[in-house]
Amino acid sequence: MIVKSFPNLQIFECKHINFAGLQGLLTGALKLKSLTSQFENDITDDAAETLSFAFAKLESLRIRIIHDIDYPKFSSSMSNYQSFLRHLHLATVHITDITVEKFAENCKFLESIEIYMCFHLTDNAIIALANHRNIHLKHLMIAYNARITDEGMKHIAINCKNLKTFIAMSCTKMTSSSFVNITRECKNLVEFTVRNYPWQTLASIVHTLSTRNKGTLKVFKAYDTGIRTNDNSFNLKLNAAALEKLAIRCPQIKSMVLRCRMQESDGSCLIRTLKKFQNLEELMICPPVKFTKSDIKQLEKHKRLKDITIIHGLTPEAESFLKERKNENKGGMYITVINNNNNQ
């Protein structure tokens, strides 16, 4: 029905699709460019392979698969027909390296890949991606994988120097070496996001970006593990001085998350540093020392900053000031306070 009503359909997204639905979609949607869905259980590897030739020339393919099968036949066949594919998102729990290898080898325009909860992928998939897509790879996201290591990421850093966006979340075999290599070799990064890594790793990232990035960075988001330790022996610190160097090197940063441990004891100094990110529009921060009312007033003077989230980081006086400000319904900067799991 959808296909008959919209013969020029180019973008299709649905939560789930079964074999009959996929078959009907492909039969009628000859101009389809983007497909997003979760394959139901009746779309087996053999069944999917029989439809691989029927797919329109897609530019974006986002597949979610949670049932316990791999798709080597479908991947091998499908990739041969997708010469125009640019973006591939795989949230496919049980696929193996061959899927990424085949898409990387056969899809000559592939420039963006997201790997989410693909638990069985290893360095072999990442090395194939680095070798086949090399300087053409612009966007890479890897989340929740415990098999991809620094070895695979070393190949990305060496071969994919035009990478613009790098996102890594909870990949337990990646150490600071992976991220330092990426930030050192990929000098034109526009976004760098890391989630659930030690503060020492985040400090290394900030210091490398501050010396290697060509000033292209616009989004920087750092989330640590949330585990607080008393280990201050690491020679690099994530403090106001380190952030000031980042502000100077990367003046285009518009969005920044610092939900991590910082080694800074002077709140006023940190505020002055944040104001040096002159193009900053969005900020989330977990301050190492509580911001005072005076600190908030100084931060409000930032010419571009529109949206701030402060996590567990205000003095009682500052909290009262923001409550009064909210009650008076003053315009300007929007400030959210997260304290004891309550938003103000």
* Domains of the chain by residue range: 1-84, 189-227+234-343
Q: What element of type H or E holds 20?
A: helix 19-28
Residue 232, pLDDT > 80, answer no
Residue type, 33: K
The candidate with the shortest Cα–Cα distance to 102, out of 118, 123, 79, 119, is 79
| Exposed e or buried b per residue across 284-313, where buried means at least 16 C-beta atoms within 10 angstroms of its C-beta | bbbbbbbbbbebbebbeebeebeebbbeeb
The predicted pLDDT at position 105 comes to 97
The predicted pLDDT at position 327 comes to 76
- For residue 240, name the pLDDT band (cuts at 50, 70, 90): very high
Class (C level, CATH) for 189-227+234-343:
alpha beta
Considering only residues 344 and 68, tell me which one the structure prediction assigns the higher pLDDT.
Answer: 68
The candidate with the shortest Cα–Cα distance to 279, out of 239, 310, 248, is 248
Residue 1, pLDDT > 60, answer no
The predicted pLDDT at position 6 comes to 81
The predicted pLDDT at position 230 comes to 54
Q: What is the mean predicted confidence (pLDDT) over 28-48? A: 95
Q: What is the mean predicted confidence (pLDDT) over 97-118? A: 97
Residue 206, pLDDT > 80, answer yes
Q: What is the mean predicted confidence (pLDDT) over 105-134? A: 98
pTM given for the model? 0.94
Q: What is the rounded average pLDDT for all residues in the chain?
A: 93
Considering only residues 178 and 1, tell me which one the structure prediction assigns the higher pLDDT.
Answer: 178
Which region holds residue 311: left if phi is over 0, alpha if psi is between -120 and 50, else beta?
beta
Q: What is the mean predicted confidence (pLDDT) over 205-223? A: 98
The predicted pLDDT at position 69 comes to 86
pLDDT digits (tens, 9 = 90+) for 63-84: 999 888 899 999 999 999 999 9
pLDDT digits (tens, 9 = 90+) for 295-319: 999 999 999 999 999 999 999 999 9
Assign 46 to helix, strand or coil: helix
Contact between residue 240 and residue 265 where contact means Cβ atoms under 8 Å apart: no
pLDDT digits (tens, 9 = 90+) for 246-259: 999 999 999 999 99
Contact between residue 11 and residue 33 where contact means Cβ atoms under 8 Å apart: yes
Residue 110, pLDDT > 80, answer yes
The predicted pLDDT at position 306 comes to 95
Which region holds residue 100: left if phi is over 0, alpha if psi is between -120 and 50, else beta?
alpha
Q: What is the mean predicted confidence (pLDDT) over 78-105? A: 96
DSSP lists the bridge partners of residue 39 as 17
Full DSSP string of 64-116:
EE-SS---HHHHHHHHHH-TT--EEEEEETT--HHHHHHHHHH-TT--EEEEE
